[in-house]
Amino acid sequence: MVSRIATLLALLLVLTGCAEKLGGPSSHALGVGARQGGLFDEKGATDCVGKLIRGAGLRQETLEHVARGDLAGDSDWTMGEGETGPFDHWVEYKMDKKCGVLPWVSASSLGESALEGGLTNDPKAANCVGALIRDADLRKDFLGGLPHSSFNLPEEKWWRVRDTDKQAFKADVESKMPARCGVRPWPEKRPWNEAPAL
């Protein structure tokens, strides 16, 4: 009887594995591709994020792109219009609570935002700068907002940033950029965390 139950369980595992393969990339492959594409850095969250992506109801073609790491900003592929909402609500919104990682708070995505926003103008240093930002002592909601803002929010909104965020950003990112990444902060424009010139 025990061997029959074991056989049935083994068969069930094989069938569910085959069903996942028939339906496209596995959850693990999706998580690995999403991590390569800059959605997150934490290896321990790979399978969890992959399951969220798999359950988001995305098209087969989209799943294949995700598994290949095509979420990265330098990809010429974009997600379909009807899929961005489900991806946002089913994956990005749930990542922190279910998997313990914020979406797009990876060294590559933060580095890309730092380039777009002018914190650095050196593409070779972008990942290093992104890693400094990711590892800085910043509040979760402030850190989570950086990739979407590209450091270019209208000036008045930056004044809502807490002084502790400004101090941590200055201490953990700006001051470390020359020694760690070989670039100085804000090479071509006034920093977002200083008062505008009168």
- Looking at the structure, do residues 111 and 95 belong to the same domain, yes or no? no
In angstroms, the CA 87 to CA 49 distance is 11
- Looking at the structure, do residues 111 and 73 belong to the same domain, yes or no? no
pLDDT for 44 equals 96
Q: Where among 99, 122, 153 does a domain terminate? A: 99
- Looking at the structure, do residues 30 and 91 belong to the same domain, yes or no? yes
- Looking at the structure, do residues 95 and 115 belong to the same domain, yes or no? no
pLDDT in tens, 95-154: 999 999 999 999 999 999 899 888 999 999 999 999 999 999 988 888 888 877 767 655
- Looking at the structure, do residues 94 and 113 belong to the same domain, yes or no? no
47: in domain: yes
20: in domain: no
The residue with greater pLDDT, 14 or 130, is: 130
Q: Where among 42, 67, 99 does a domain terminate? A: 99
1: in domain: no
Cα dihedral: 15, 20, 24, 28 (round 10): -130
Residue 112, domain extent: 107-181
Q: In a 10 Å sphere around its CB, with 0-12 CB exposed, 13-18 middle and 19+ buried, how is residue 42 labelled?
A: middle
The whole model's pTM is what?
0.78
- Least confident segment among 15-24, 115-124, 145-154, 186-195: 15-24
CA distances from 22 to 16, 19, 32, 68, 81 (A): 10, 5, 19, 17, 25
- Looking at the structure, do residues 95 and 30 belong to the same domain, yes or no? yes
- Looking at the structure, do residues 31 and 81 belong to the same domain, yes or no? yes
- Looking at the structure, do residues 112 and 91 belong to the same domain, yes or no? no
Residue 197 has pLDDT above 50, yes or no: no
9: in domain: no
The total number of structural domains in the chain stands at: 2
pLDDT for 14 equals 41
139: in domain: yes
- Looking at the structure, do residues 113 and 156 belong to the same domain, yes or no? yes
pLDDT for 20 equals 43
12: in domain: no
78: in domain: yes
- Looking at the structure, do residues 121 and 86 belong to the same domain, yes or no? no
Q: Where among 48, 81, 99 does a domain terminate? A: 99
